[in-house]
Amino acid sequence: MAQMHIGNVKLDTPVFLAPMAGIADLPFRLLCRELGGVGLAGSELLNARAIVQGRDAICNKALPPLEDSPLSVQLYGALDDPLPEAAAWAVENGATIIDINMGCPIDKVCKKNGGSLLMKTPGKTATLAKQIIGACGDVPVTAKVRLGWGENELTAPEIAKRLEDVGIAAITVHGRTTSQKFSGNACLDGIAKVVEAVSIPVIGNGDIHSVESAMRMFDYTKCAGVMVGRHAMKEPWIFDDISRCLNGENANFRGRNAKIEVILRHLELILQYRSERAALHCITNRIALYGRTLGHIKPLKERVRLAKSADEIRDALEAWLTPEVSST
C-alpha cells in the first residue's frame, strides 16, 4: 500500500485533494473520500483574520466532522495578519494539518498581501512560518507555493529551503508562476528543483488529469505525493484511480450509470450539509464538467441547467440511468 508521512501524520495514500475556494467544500471532500484514494483533503482557503474575528461563515468551513479526516486547513493572509492565532484555533477545532497559502495568484488574495506575494519576502515569510509552527504544537504545518512570481523570479527552491529550516513539514509546489495563473503548462523541471533543494516531502501539483499524468509527475520530479485540483471537479474518482495504480491494481471501470450515481450522491451530500440553493448552484454549474465523462448527453445537461429544484435535478439524472440487464 502506497503511504506517506507528513510530520507525525501517517497518510494512507500520497494523493491529495487540493484546497480550492468554492470547490473543495465539505460535500465535495466527502464525495471524493467516499470514492476512495484520498490521502489528505484540503479545505477551502480561509482568511486568517476572519477566523480570529469569529465570522461564522468562515469558521464553519474549518470545522470538520469525523468522517472528513484527515483534513488540511489552509489559511491565507499577509505578514501582519493573525495567522498564528488562526492556526491555533483550527488546531483546537480538529485540523490534522495546517497549510499556509503562499501560492494563490488570484487578485482578491494578492491584493491583501497574501498568497503568492509571500514568496516575494522569503526571510519575513520564513519568520511568519516559524511563528505559525510554534502556535500549532504537535500538528504539522505545511506550505503551498508556486515556482515564483514570474519567469525571472523562480524562488521556489530558495523559499522551500528556508521553510524547511524553520520546521515546515512538507511543501506543495504548483508548477506555474504567479504571473501564469492557470495558463500554459505546469513545469515539472521547476518542481524537481524544489525536490532537490529540500529533504522534506514535496507534493507536485498542476496538470494532473489522469493516472498517466500523475505517474509522470512522480517519475519525473521524484516528488513524494501528488495533488489534484481542478480536474477533480470532472472526475472525483481520479484519486481512487491513481491510488490503485500506485498499489499495482487496475482502475475501476465506471460506466455511465456509475458516473450518474456519483452526481446524484454529490447532490445528496450538498442537500445534507448545505442547502437546496447551494445544491442547485453547484450541480447546474458543474453538470457540463461531469458531462464530459458521459458521452453525448446534451438533453440531460439542459434539463439539469434549467432545473428549479433539487427534485428536478434528481429526476433528470435518474431518467438517464440505464436499467441493468440480468445475466440469468
Give the catalytic positions in this structure.
Answer: 104
Rounded Cα gap, residues 237 and 246, in angstroms: 15
Grid coordinates representing 289 are 464538467
**Per-residue burial over 110-140, b = 16 or more CB atoms within 10 Å of its CB, e = otherwise:** beebbbbbbbeebeebbebbbebbebbeebb
